[in-house]
Amino acid sequence: MCGKDPQLLSGSPDWFDGIQRLSILAGLRITECAAFIAGPFATMSLAELGASVIRIDPIEGGIDYRRWPVTESGSSLYWAGLNKGKKSVSIDIRGAEGRELAQAIITAPGPDAGLFVSNFPATGWLDFKALKQRREDLIMVNILGNRDGSTALDYTVNCAVGFPTVTGRPGDPAPTNHVLPAWDLVCGLTAATGLLAAERHRRLHGQGQLLKIALSDVALAIVGDLGFISEVQINGSARERYGNDIYGAFGRDFETADGRRLMVAAVSAGQWKALCKATGIEAAIAELETATGSDLTRDGDRFAARDKIATLLTPWFAARTLGEAGQVLDAARACWGTYQSFEELVNTDPRCSTANDMFADVNHPGIGTSLTPGSPITFSACAPVPPQAGPVLGQHTDEVLAEVLGLSSGQIADLHDRKVVASAAR
């Protein structure tokens, strides 16, 4: 369990504060009844900081248990990736006795427990008021599709909030969905933030509560935060489609002599100066500024002149391999990155390997060994939680029934016999 067997850091960088002992959320216990990304990702982010997360699933697995990608034998890489380090409890939650057990786990006592995350409708046995009667200071985070409780997924929210109409090649009349489930991820971390805020409030004031977060509200808030709403309302115009260009500054992708592609960015005067220096276009840029009366140290002027700037840069990249261009850009401290496929990332980028302390090679039951990330946060005074595998479905049923609910082995055996619970081990 996270935090129980702390890992001492070897070779700690000098900014670490002395002995590493507990992980930062060691002792916190969260129960989850959820599926897909936002809910499971919320709690996994906290498990990666040392919280003990109990995921309750129906005996045959939740609706995301076989979600693609899957291995040849049908194990879900998706499920394994989003439930790393959790305890899995299998309960027949269609029956009254199973629901009673699940409620008991959710509302079990302890100052660091009574934290619950769900993206199922908070009705029936998951109704907040019913749960609160069992534990007055329960904190429940309920993730919804829309604020009114209607269904929405990342895909059906994303299409509504404008981004697909500005993603992809200029001139393409069709919208382009992004593949990253960005809204789910942002929603999950919003839920994690809200849960910790509510736990702080409970510690200070003794009061639990229900948090509601709608996926579509998360996306709408971001649209506003990033200025897209005020662009329409104040400027009377909406963002156009600029392909791979960075809006409002200079950034574009270029092809190199060896057929690779890279992205260069100049969103500050310093990055711009570095890019010009690296590629030797300083004199040409000075001429361009004189000819057009622009000041290309200014973001907006660079954006307006982006095609002319790109015309100056294209031959420089076309004359160099990725390696050659990268070396010169690095020496000038320019900001750039290589386009990589998932294979190139996994097979060639040292950041995506065990050379990066965030990763370890972990054996996932029924799947095999793969490079597995832990939390991207490093704490100077707390032990990191080593990257972990996802559980086998029902792996921790008996452990949780015994440790959290205090059931005897006879009581647990009886629940198994009557198929109220199931366990991977049986």
Active site residues: 184
Residue 52 and residue 275: Cα distance in Å, rounded?
47
CB of 401 to its own copies, least distance (A): 28
CB of 354 to its own copies, least distance (A): 12
Residue 111 and residue 126: Cα distance in Å, rounded?
21
Nearer to its own copies, 185 or 281 (CB): 185
Q: Which residues contact 142 (CB under 8 A, 6 or more apart)?
A: 118, 119, 122, 128, 210, 211, 212, 213
- Kindly give the pairing relationship between strand 29-33 and strand 115-118: parallel
Q: What DSSP assignment string belongs to 28-54? A: -EEEEE--TTHHHHHHHHHHTTT-EEE
Nearer to its own copies, 94 or 351 (CB): 351
Residue 116 and residue 139: Cα distance in Å, rounded?
6
By residue count, the chain amounts to: 426
The answer to whether 99 touches 33, Cβ cutoff 8 Å, is: no
CB of 248 to its own copies, least distance (A): 3
Tell me if residue 96 falls in helix, strand or coil. helix
Nearer to its own copies, 77 or 310 (CB): 77
Nearer to its own copies, 168 or 399 (CB): 168
- Kindly give the pairing relationship between strand 335-338 and strand 421-422: unpaired
CB of 328 to its own copies, least distance (A): 15
CB of 382 to its own copies, least distance (A): 6
Q: Which residues contact 55 (CB under 8 A, 6 or more apart)?
A: 31, 32, 33, 34, 40, 43, 83, 86, 87, 88, 89, 391
CB of 196 to its own copies, least distance (A): 4
**Which amino acid is located at 32 in the chain?**
E
Q: Does the CA dihedral 335-338-339-345 come out positive or negative?
A: negative
Nearer to its own copies, 177 or 314 (CB): 177
139 C-beta neighbours (distance < 10 Å), count: 24
